[in-house]
Amino acid sequence: MTIQPSELRYCPTHEWAHAIQDGGKNIAVIGISAFAVEQLTDLVFMALPKVGSSVQAGQEFGEVESVKAVSPLYSPVSGQVVAVNESLPNQLEILSRDPYNEGWMIQVEMSDLSELDGLLTFESYSKQCAESH
């Protein structure tokens, strides 16, 4: 499965969510956008939650640090972390190369599917990014 940016929903803070079905469970694959990676420039550190952790929509679940700044990562949805991309913190260059597929960060079993409806579409997110320049 290849994730296309146009299929995703976005937080105003640049995190994305891709909803999938896995064994009858509603899972959100979560990462950060290519725009965010470009803005951060040289990434040096990332902290992600552990499997089994709970996350809340709009709340921090981790952080990413660049040579410029430390940026919190905000969860687009609420639920329980069911998978973490364990190799990502040691290979941050993946985010520059492929933020939407190899560069996913966590997978969350969603507790409320309707939270996806409150996120930005690709068109709305793209407009926000263009206006921020």
Task: Give the predicted TM-score (pTM) of the model.
Answer: 0.95
Q: What confidence score (pLDDT) does residue 2 get?
A: 79
Residue 133 pLDDT > 70? no
Please report how many Cα atoms fall inside a 13 Å half-sphere around the Cα of residue 103, on the Cβ side: 22
- Rg of the chain, C-alpha, whole Å: 14
> 94, 70 in Cβ contact below 8 A?
no
pLDDT, tens digit, 9 for 90 and up, residues 51-107: 999 999 999 999 999 998 899 999 999 999 999 999 999 999 999 999 999 999 999
Return contacts of 125-132, CB within 8 angstroms, 24+ apart: 125/10, 125/33, 128/12, 129/33, 129/35
